[in-house]
Structure 1
Amino acid sequence: MPANAPELTYPFQPPEARQSLEVAPGVRWIRLPLPFRLDHINVWAIDDGDGWVLVDTGLNSPQTVADWLALTAEGPLARPLKGVYATHMHPDHLGLAGWFTRRAGVPLSMSRIEYLTCRVLHADTNREAPPDGVRFYQRAGWPEAAIETYRSRFGGFGKFIHALPDSFRRCTTARSCAGAGARGA
């Protein structure tokens, strides 16, 4: 950085493990650990009057479940969960959505394409890479090392995702997501 560049200042320090931090009235920031190079994810709890809604959930892992159990046992999140919103289908954002929706009996709200893609990828969990897929990438000119990576990683998506609920509330915009009725897939 240039010597005269302004220094960045942050209005908050990240919340401690198993803690939430109010960053605006009714909006709580939660940081959950990840076992990857990117070692955390930020998720949000939003006050909904007599309960709260969750925006993203963290990975489906024993560590994340333990963190959520601690977060919801006492304090500001020890109130009824009213809903789960998934911003997109990456496992660190959606991993525990199914766990929360079943546990609390609340709806999952997300876009249709993200929900359906996640269901398909989850269905491939623990499957071997399909021969048609391998042939496709070979014809596309992938080197053998890339093909082996494809083979070794295929079917791994669902290992970090709790099974999604059978239905969801479709969001096409932030406004439609906030006002989603009982629409399903």
Structure 2
Amino acid sequence: MPDSPDLSQRLLAQLRFPCGDVPEPGDIKNVAPGIYWLRMPLPFQLNHINLWLVEEKDGWTIVDTGINTQETRDLWEKIFARKLNGKPVTRVIATHLHPDHVGLAGWLCQKWNAPLWMTLGEYMSAQAARNDFVESDEIRAAHLARNGVPADRIANFHRHKGGYAKGVAPLPTAFQRLIHAHPITIGGHRWDVIVGRGHAPEHASLWCPELNVMIAGDQVLPKISTNVGVWPNEPLADALTWFLDGFSRFRRLPADALVLPSHGFPFIGLHTRLDQLVAHHDARLNDMTTAIARKGAEGATGWDMVPVLFPRHLDNNQIVFAFGETLAHLHCLETRARVKRVVVDGVHSFVALVDPANDPPSDDPSPEVMDVGAV
């Protein structure tokens, strides 16, 4: 359930936002030594993505690219003409495979003859998704039916098919691999690669100890909760557990690090934000346990639980992500032994194993908003 505006404002007040206003379209803004912030539009409810330029001695590194639209290409051309001081782009880094992050990687790499850097899991997943190797209509339909989606609603999920290739230009056929805990040099400084899972297969955040700056991608966002979903190609994934377990890697960073997120504003308050996100998901898990317990021995399917997690109206695009996120929460409850899975006539339901009266009360401290730009 969405938080009240007052609660949302109190949560944001616990963070600091030191970088001021958003840069204008086609402009860049210095936010740390050698690091520049730019913002590109997105054709979703989540209407923007933050991208980053890091100045090198003889060029520039781009971190994330924006989606493959003519508008985004035109804004990049404006930046190239006015903001690079005559130096070329020498490297493109994509934190993960989603179109708003890797959509123009192929175009940028070809234009500048620059290499693409990604983790192996993200690069291979992006190639598979773009070339339609990930799932078929039959696999998708079986996954949906297995989790209780009515037959007359399955077609809504098929409409989403093909969207990835529209948002992602053809990718380079070669890349350079980012590996967790293996540092790379950007802008003359050491940056450590921090891999997180759940939102994407091997999402890479970048941490620079010398500058006390983290380029977070979608792993830690200041105002919205990152979409964490279960998809037909990995139907039993425990994505939310993986996502939350990954927070331990970020808690090792200083509390006063400057976090550069892909959506929202750069902020200080990393540990506070991690605490808020854990509490948010714990509250949602408690809500789901209570709702499942009310169903008794009958249990509840993933489709039954969507309105518990997302009580507002959802359009055809949002329902795809909402359903995936609902399954992620159910699988996390299963891992925590709070529900058990029951299969009857091929349909999976979940039955409560714990008394929800023993759960702490739901007091969600974080705005419930999906990252609907993720595909």
State whether structure 2 residue 73 is matched by structure 1 residue 65: yes
CA shift, 1:37, in A, is 0.7
2:137 maps to which of 117, 127, 130? 130
CA shift, 1:57, in A, is 0.3
1:148 maps to which of 146, 155, 158? 155
Unaligned runs of 5+ residues in structure 1 are: 180-185
SS in structure 1 at match of 2:155? helix
State whether structure 2 residue 180 is matched by structure 1 residue 161: no
CA shift, 1:143, in A, is 2.0
Give the Cα–Cα distance (whole angstroms) in 1 for the partners of residues 174 and 83 of structure 2.
Answer: 31
SS in structure 2 at match of 1:28? strand
Deviates more, 1:111-120 or 1:9-18: 9-18
Higher relative contact order (CA 8 A, sep 6+): 2
SS in structure 2 at match of 1:65? helix
Q: CA RMSD in A?
A: 2.3
Contact 1:83 1:106 in 2 (8 A): yes
Contact 1:101 1:108 in 2 (8 A): yes
Larger Cα-atom Rg:
2
CA shift, 1:166, in A, is 0.2
Contact 2:28 2:83 in 1 (8 A): no
Deviates more, 1:73-82 or 1:34-43: 73-82
Give the Cα–Cα distance (whole angstroms) in 2 for the partners of residues 24 and 174 of structure 1.
Answer: 23
CA shift, 1:154, in A, is 1.4
Unaligned runs of 5+ residues in structure 2 are: 1-5, 187-375
CA shift, 1:112, in A, is 0.5
CA shift, 1:48, in A, is 1.0
The verdict on how the C-alpha distance between 1:131 and 1:145 changes in structure 2, with shifts beyond 3 A counting, is: same
State whether structure 2 residue 119 is matched by structure 1 residue 111: yes
State whether structure 2 residue 65 is matched by structure 1 residue 90: no
Give the Cα–Cα distance (whole angstroms) in 1 for the partners of residues 85 and 155 of structure 2.
Answer: 44
CA shift, 1:132, in A, is 3.7
Contact 1:83 1:108 in 2 (8 A): yes
Opposite residue 92 of structure 2, the aligned amino acid is V
**Paired residue for 1:121?**
129
**Paired residue for 2:52?**
44
The verdict on how the C-alpha distance between 1:57 and 1:74 changes in structure 2, with shifts beyond 3 A counting, is: same
The verdict on how the C-alpha distance between 1:158 and 1:178 changes in structure 2, with shifts beyond 3 A counting, is: farther
Structure 1 stretches of 4+ with a deviation exceeding 3 A read 5-9, 174-179
SS in structure 1 at match of 2:24? coil
**Paired residue for 2:286?**
none
